[in-house]
Amino acid sequence: MKLVLVTAVEEFQKAILKIFKKASIENLSVTEISGFKNIPSEIASNWFSSAKNGNESILFFSFTDDEHIDVLFNLITDFNNNMETNNPVKGVVLPIERFT
């Protein structure tokens, strides 16, 4: 059992949900997040600003096995290779030592 995390800009939510389905990962969670590039001057200058400078992003996560993760990552790679923007979908896998 492993934890897979996938981040993407919000506009890709429907496409990423389809990718999870194609990978036969039916149980997952999604949460909204704000993504920032590490540009200290921009963040510092807007520390108390009400303006939102982050990108509307989403985080998907699921507990699954290597077989499904391999398919998922292949589909994400295909998606990234065919996109027209500079906002690639990112994925990471974390091992789970214990669960109940």
Give the CATH number, domain containing residue 27: 3.30.70.120
Q: Determine, yes or no, domain membership for 86.
A: yes
Quote the tokens at residue 96. 């789970």
Q: Determine, yes or no, domain membership for 43.
A: no
| Contacts for 2 with CB less than 8 Å, ≥ 6 apart | 63, 64, 65, 66, 69, 93, 94, 95, 96
Q: Determine, yes or no, domain membership for 42.
A: no
Q: Determine, yes or no, domain membership for 84.
A: yes
Q: Determine, yes or no, domain membership for 30.
A: yes
Q: Determine, yes or no, domain membership for 20.
A: yes
User: Please, are residues 61 and 12 in contact by the beta-carbon 8 Å criterion?
Assistant: no
The pLDDT of residue 55: 72
- Residue 65 belongs to what domain range? 2-37+53-95
* Tens of pLDDT, residues 6-64: 999 999 999 999 999 999 999 999 999 987 766 555 555 554 444 456 678 999 999 99
Quote the tokens at residue 8. 């993407």
User: Please, are residues 94 and 16 in contact by the beta-carbon 8 Å criterion?
Assistant: no
Q: Determine, yes or no, domain membership for 47.
A: no
Total number of domains in the chain: 1
The reported pTM is 0.81
